[in-house]
Structure 1
Amino acid sequence: MLIGEVARRSGVSTRMLRHYDALGLVRPTGRTVGGYREYSAEDVRRIFHVESLRSLGLSLKQIARALEDPAFTPSDLVGDLIRWTEDRLEREQELLGRLRAVDASAPTGWQDVLRIVELLQGLGSSSAARRQQAVLAPPEDVPVPAEVLAGAVLSEADPHVAGALRWALARSGGDAVATLTVGLRSADVDVRRRAVRAIAELPEAPGAAAALADALGDPDPTVRDHAALALGRRGATAAVPALLAMVVTGSHDVDAAEVLAALAQDWESADRIATALLDALAAHPADPAVRIRLTQALVELPGPAAEQALRRLARDGDPTVALVASAFVAVRAEQSPEAEAEVDPDSSPDERA
């Protein structure tokens, strides 16, 4: 089979077949009377073997060794190829991210492109100080795309730079929630924590509330706490169970109690939250620290249910809890003189109204 026919059947160019011949990788078995290369069936099979190994990313030198050296085992080489491919894909993903950032900045000329590249280089610096400077003092007239800031937030370990990034992100006006929501699904708990903190500082962004609601089910308590506080400050009652859990565990319990009080804007809401706090008190009869935190949360609530609960706790069997509750009853009485009137704890809501 002459070289032209081999090229047509194999899909390998005649130029490449000559190159294989020159390297000794695939030499035709014979020559015609006129001196043309003549390939046997075995030669063609070897060409297909070469092309198969090239498709895996092997160099021609590695292919020659694989085909000629019986002791050559593929396991180590394939492992190296996997690592090289992963590295190449990572570099290409970084390049794709940069290209998208340039495109999102809507450059009007090459000077704009150079400025956004300068910004990206600053954000990718190994120096935390330079990264922070890139966030707080970007090149002149360079709008920083929200997606770029969101991606930087998810990977930023330095707390000062992370704070600057969240500040810039909240003021960018761009849609970064989609990028941050991807971070909320990361297997890396640190990435999820960075994502939820950033979303919490985007109160008006579309999709932020839904992302935070999903984060209430996160296995990490820190992620759940940030989501609960942010949702509660938005007026979402779905955060109440998580906020109660924060009071019980003592995780940001003061903040959680303040948010619960803010959610208790009417007596009906206040009564429901007070009832939940009382249920939590009943579930922890022998833990004074938990009971004191729950008692302190009750004092923040308006309405008769919280008032009744505190008066009952003033007679609690735990002297510390009783003392704290009594002090709070006195404080409430001073702040609201009409509250000094005794309320019958067994009266109905209609009678209390």
Structure 2
Amino acid sequence: MNHRFASIRYSYIRSQLYGLFLSFIVLLATLLTIYVLLEPTWLTIKGIFLFMFLYFLVALIVSIYAGFKSGGDLKYRFDYLSTQITQFANGNYQSRLHFQEGDEITRVANEMNALGEALQDQVKSLQRMADERADMAKNSYKTAVMEERQRIARDLHDAVSQQLFALAMFSEAAIKQLDEAPELAKKQMMEVAKAALQSQTEMRALLLHLRPVYLSGEPLDKGIIKLVNELQQKSHIDFQLSLPDNLNITETIEEHVFRIVQEALANILRHSNASKVVIQISNRSDELLLHISDNGNGFNVDEERKASYGLKTMKERSEELGGTFRIRSSEREGTYVDIRIPC
């Protein structure tokens, strides 16, 4: 309630009432001074207070209406400015404001329109730079493949090799305890099964990165469908896809989006333990919208964002195209990734 009465509209009403109060005091003092000094026959105390009461009543109604009307018009214009800022924050730089009043607010609106044009030009420059980088990346494909192999080799050494070592240790211990302590051996075999499942999941995620870096001429929707079909054959995850046909986007955007989806699925395989994954792509208002969600374990976004190589890569690829990257997650409530890319 206090926040509501602090709005511009009620500030105008308060200023009108303040003016009414001052004019009421001045007029009352003037009439009383005339009555005391000159004592005209036509002016009486009763007449003064009757006139002041009627004046106050009429002026109160006029002040409230004028303040409400003037403050309301100003509030609507500020609301338009706020909506424009929200549009810019969401990556919609084509939105424009049109005011005819010619005052300071119109000047601010024109400056915001100029800012939108500058941001739109910047997005085009970023996408042009992304196209140039994509061409350079294709020319240096062998170097990229070597770097990818080295990174996967490090992942194999850090994750899978350690898990296989633990698998061998548990197996040897179980064999030794099989005759003397069968219950302990059973427990250790359960650990073996758990470690084997984790190694299998990690290997699938690594194999996902071994796919070609580029779509190799395929459209984005077919590349994602092929990727999901391969994963469905090797996992128990239920994939739900919503992909439009004939997306009118550049080859660079297709490749970046494909790699973002690939990275997101690798993270899901490794960490989420999800049973359902949703991938949605849509075109709206000259924007490409990408949504990826799962019903897995979830995580603390603030802690994981700093440490996760995959999240950093997805965010960097989005920003290279002038887009926005948002991720929401909490423990045991799944993960939601939303990306907007201007087209």
Query: TM-score higher than 0.5 here?
Result: no
* Coarse TM-score class (shorter-chain normalised): under 0.3
Q: Which has the higher contact order (CA 8 A, sep 6+)?
A: 2
More strand by share: 2
TM-score by length of 2: 0.21
TM-score by length of 1: 0.21
